[in-house]
């Protein structure tokens, strides 16, 4: 079933959401992040949402392709112009992760966790990914595009992600409507943006602690190996090494061991 834009707009209006109150939905695009970045250059406003049924060049982190099977998931990007200091920008991916986690956890029995920096796992497999692309000056974040892909109705995934990915449908969710799902994510994200704006990144890290896929898990990131020890007030991953010392890792792909 294709995305019911009127239903989504009614949800956004009923809930009084600022995020998603302007929306552009297309049948096909290259990447909704491209659409949002181009619109940002042309002056589009905070909260404008770009979604598509499918993307021909959907992208993930580290240059990976993001498979966007038509209508099988929620593929969207949100343009934010937050009044945040640049050092809070890494926190926005965590805010988005927490918001997606919240919406998904209400739909499935499996444990839904955030894997730093921006994956959402359910039952140990990836159900959603987040790609944040920002533009900022030294004083302020001017524009942040939060791209989110949530797998909804896929019954299987192609190699090489066949064993690593899952969908709401595979997780046994009864409610698969993308319009309500998107509204739930946006509503939760508004809460997270208000949290980071008021209390800072450490409050986001604290909120994430019970939902941290890496906490006390053996992991490797780059040449750092150890046990996840939470996220610090700058958004870095803390890793406790064998010797007991804790290292803060600012970027990289985490491999669970």
Which of 225, 218, 211 shows the shortest CA–CA distance to 256? 218
Cβ nearer to ligand BTN, comparing 161 with 233: 161
The reply to whether 55 sits near ligand BTN by the rule CB under 6 A is: yes
Is residue 134 within the footprint of ligand BTN (CB under 6 A)?
A: no
Binding pattern to ligand BTN, positions 6-45, x when CB under 6 A? -------------------------xxx------------
Binding of ligand BTN at residue 71 (CB under 6 A)? no
Q: Which is nearer to ligand BTN, 226 or 235 (CB)?
A: 235
Nearer to ligand BTN, 91 or 147 (CB): 147
Cβ of residue 58: shortest distance to ligand BTN, in angstroms?
Answer: 4
**Helices (H), ranges, the chain:** 5-15, 32-41, 90-105, 178-199, 201-208
Overall size of the chain counted in residues: 257
Structure tokens at 243: 């010797």
Q: Is 115 in the site for ligand BTN (CB under 6 A)?
A: no
- Measured CA to CA, the distance from residue 103 to residue 100 in angstroms comes to 5
Whether residue 213 is preceded by a cis peptide bond, meaning omega within 30 degrees of 0, is no
Give the interface segment with ligand BTN, choosing from 61-69, 218-226, 227-235, 241-249 (CB under 6 A).
61-69
Per rule CB under 6 A, is residue 117 in the interface with ligand BTN?
no
Could you tell me the CA-to-CA distances from 201 to 96, 195, 207 in Å, in that order?
A: 13, 8, 10
How far is residue 190 from each of residues 19, 82, 98, 166, 197, measured CA to CA in Å?
Answer: 7, 11, 11, 26, 11
> Using the rule CB under 6 A, is 183 a contact of ligand BTN?
no
Residue 2 or 64 having the CB closest to ligand BTN = 64
Which stretches within 22-148 are classed as H helix? 32-41, 90-105
Q: Locate all alpha helices (DSSP H) within 106-240, ordered by sequence.
A: 178-199, 201-208
Question: Does residue 228 bind ligand BTN (CB under 6 A)?
Answer: no
Closest CA relative to residue 33, chosen from 130, 153, 141, 98: 130
Q: How far is the CB of 64 from ligand BTN (least distance, A)?
A: 5
* C-alpha closest to that of 146 among 203, 212, 195, 100: 100
147 touches ligand BTN by CB under 6 A: yes
Kindly tell me which residue out of 4, 7, 60, 197 binds ligand BTN, with binding defined by CB under 6 A. 60
130 part of the interface to ligand BTN, by CB under 6 A: yes
Interface residues toward ligand BTN, by CB under 6 A: 31-33, 55, 58-61, 64, 66, 75-77, 119, 129-131, 147-149
């Amino acid at each position: 079933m294709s995305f019911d834009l009127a239903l989504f707009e009614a949800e956004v209006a009923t809930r009084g959401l600022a995020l998603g109150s302007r929306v552009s939905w297309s049948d096909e695009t290259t990447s909704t992040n491209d659409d949002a970045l181009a619109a940002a250059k042309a002056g589009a406003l905070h909260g404008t949402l770009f979604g598509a049924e499918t993307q021909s060049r959907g992208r993930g982190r580290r240059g990976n392709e993001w498979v966007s099977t038509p209508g099988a998931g929620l593929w969207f990007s949100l343009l934010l112009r937050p009044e945040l200091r640049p050092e809070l920008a890494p926190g926005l991916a965590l805010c988005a992760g927490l918001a997606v986690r919240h919406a998904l956890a209400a739909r499935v029995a499996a444990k839904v966790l955030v894997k730093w920096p921006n994956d959402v796992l359910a039952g140990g497999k990836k159900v959603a990914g987040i790609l944040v692309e920002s533009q900022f000056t030294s004083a302020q974040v001017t524009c942040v595009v939060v791209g989110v892909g949530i797998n909804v109705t896929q019954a299987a995934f192609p190699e090489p992600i066949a064993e690593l990915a899952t969908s709401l449908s595979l997780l046994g969710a009864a409610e698969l409507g993308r319009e309500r799902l998107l509204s739930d994510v946006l509503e939760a994200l508004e809460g997270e943006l208000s949290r980071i704006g008021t209390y800072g990144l450490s409050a986001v890290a604290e909120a994430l602690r019970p939902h941290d896929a890496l906490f006390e898990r053996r992991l490797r990131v780059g040449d750092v190996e150890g046990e996840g020890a939470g996220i610090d007030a700058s958004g870095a991953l803390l890793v406790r090494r064998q010797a007991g010392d804790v290292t803060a890792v600012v970027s990289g792909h985490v491999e669970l061991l």
